[in-house]
A = this chain, B = another copy of it.
Amino acid sequence: MKRKNIVVLCALAAAAVLSQGVAFAAERLSKATQSCLECHESMPGIVKQWEDSVHWNAGVGCYECHKANKGENDAIDHYGYLVATIVSPKDCGQCHPKEAAEQEASHHAEAGNILNSKDGLLGQTVGGEPAVAVGCRQCHGSIVKTLEDGTLDPATWPNTGIGRVNPDGSKGSCSACHTRHRFSKEQARKPEVCGKCHVGPDHPQKEVYEESKHGILYYAYEDELNMDKPKWVAGEDYYDAPTCASCHMSAAPGVGVTHDVGDRLSWNLRAPVSKPTANSKEKLATMKEVCSACHADPFVEGFYTQLDQFVKLYNDKFAIPAKEIRQLLMDEGVISTANFDDKIDWTYWELWHHEGRRARHGAAMSGPDYAWWHGIYDVAKAFYNHLLPQAKEACEKAGKPELYDQIIEKYIDGRPEHQWYTRGFDQKRLKEIKQYYKKRYNQDVN
C-alpha cells in the first residue's frame, strides 16, 4: 500500500467502523432471500461472497436473481419457491439493460456458434464429446439442456462459457467475467479473468499481455490503479497501466464503456488471412482515442504502421501461399478433401490457427517474443520445414512430382522473399555473421 493512501484510509476507518457496525441488515432483504439464507448457510462460501457484493448493499439477494416464472423450462420447485439455477443475461439485464444489450450484440455472445463450426467438428470428431464439454464449451458456452424435472443436464452444466445458450434462449454468461457470487467490477477488470479463455497455443492474449509493457506495469502498480472505483477512466482514475478491459471495454477520455469487446478492433486477427473488420476505420479511431490517454500521436501512428506491415507480411508471405498450395493439392487430387487425414492438413491448420494467431496477437499487443519466436518464426518453420516438404512428398507419392516443381516455381523461386529457400542464404552475409559469432561466442557457429 502506498504511504500517501494511509491518510485517506485512516479517515475512512471511522466510517468503516460505523458501516461494519450495522453488520447484517436483515430488514433490507426480501423474505424469500432470508428464507434461502436459512438453509444455504451450509454453503458458507457463496453466502459470504455475496455479502461482500454491491448486490448485498442494494438488497439484491438470492431470490431476486434466481426466481423463476411458471412455465420456464428450467424452473424448479425448491422448498416452495420457484427458482432457476442459471441466472442468465436476460435476468441480469432487468437491472443492467445497457450492459446486457451490448454483450448480446457482441462477438462474445456468438461464441457458442463455434459448436456448429469446423472447430466444433474438429473437437467432436477428432476429440470426442466429453472433451468438447470440458474443453471447448467451458469457454465458448454449452447449450444448456434441462431435464424433465427442470434440473440441468450434467453433460451441459456446470458451464460459464461466454457464449452459453441459456434455457431461456439468451446467450452468454455474465459470471464468465463477473464471477459469482461477488459479481465484482474490480475482479472483471483484472487481466486474469480474460485468461480463462484467452490463453494457450492458439490465442495467447494473456501471455502476450504479461510480456508487454502494459502487463509489466500492471503487475508493478496493480495496487495503485483504483480498480474498485465505479468511475474508472484511463488517464483520469488510473494511469500507470492498462488492463485488457482498459483498451477493449472500459472508459477513456472521450470514450465510453462498452460490453461489446469487438467495438475497438479494426483487424480480424483470428482468420486464416487477416482482413479489416466491418467499420474498421471507426473502430480504429476509437481505439486510438484510448491509446491517446497515455501516448502521443506519433507513437500511436508508428505502432499501427508497424502492426499493419506485420499483418501484411503474415498474409502475403505465408498465409495466402500456404492456403493456395494446399488448395492446389486438393484440386489435383494429391491430398484428400477430408480434413486432418493428411499431415499437411494439421500443418496448415496450426500455421494459421495457432502460430499465425500467436504472431498477430503478439504484434497487436506488443509482445515481441510472441510476435517472433512463438509467432512468425514458427509460421516460417511450419511453411518451409513442414508444409513444403509435405507437399513435395504428397506430390511424389501421387506420382505428380511436376506439380511440386510448379509450386516451387510459382510460389518460391518466383518470389524474392522466398528465393533463399532454393538458392540459399547470401554467402557473403553468412560469412560476416560467422565472423561476428566467432567473436561473440569464442567458437565457430555454423
Contact = CB atoms under 8 A, between A and B. Distances in A.
Contacts of A6: 9-10, 12-13, 16
Interface string A118-131: 10111101111111
Interface stretch (A27-35, A89-97, A400-408, A416-424): A416-424
A137 B122 CA distance: 37
A138 B20 contact: no
A323 interface: yes
Given A193-B220, A313-B131, A432-B116, A20 B49 contact: no
Contacts of A437: 117-118
B134 A310 contact: yes
A87 to B, nearest CB: 13
A186 B220 contact: yes
A369 interface: yes
A45 to B, nearest CB: 3
A398 interface: no
Contacts of A337: 424, 430, 446
Contacts of A236: 44
A389 to B, nearest CB: 7
A201 B374 contact: yes
Interface residues of A, number: 159
Contacts of A312: 130
Contacts of A359: 131
Interface string A361-382: 0110010111111111100110
A216 to B, nearest CB: 5
A331 to B, nearest CB: 10
Q: Which of A20, A135, A312, A427 has the most CB of B within 10 A?
A: A135
Nearest to A360: B134
Contacts of A196: 211-213, 216, 368
A148 interface: no
Given A49-B239, A339-B425, A273 B443 contact: yes
A202 B373 contact: yes
Interface stretch (A98-106, A164-172, A257-265, A291-299): A291-299
A154 B302 contact: yes
Contacts of A73: none
Interface SS majority for chain A: helix
Contacts of A118: 430, 433-434, 436-437, 445
Given A125-B425, A377-B127, A443-B271, A16 B12 contact: no
Interface in A378-417: 380-381, 384-385, 389, 417
A219 B192 contact: yes
Contacts of A426: 121, 125
Interface string A328-344: 00100000111111010
Given A3-B9, A424-B336, A240 B182 contact: yes
A386 B6 CA distance: 60
Contacts of A108: none
B425 A43 contact: no
A288 interface: no
Contacts of A122: 377
A114 to B, nearest CB: 9
A85 B298 contact: yes
Contacts of A273: 441, 443
A43 B235 contact: yes
B116 A420 contact: no
Given A377-B126, A440-B117, A303 B158 contact: yes
A436 B216 contact: no
Contact of A430 (B235, B339, B375, B434): B339
Contact of A235 (B44, B368, B381): B44
A219 B190 contact: yes
A54 interface: no
A266 B231 CA distance: 47
A-B pairs with the 5 shortest C-beta distances? A135-B372, A338-B424, A45-B294, A271-B441, A138-B368
10 contacts: A43-B292, A45-B235, A46-B295, A116-B436, A135-B369, A151-B298, A157-B299, A200-B374, A271-B445, A338-B424
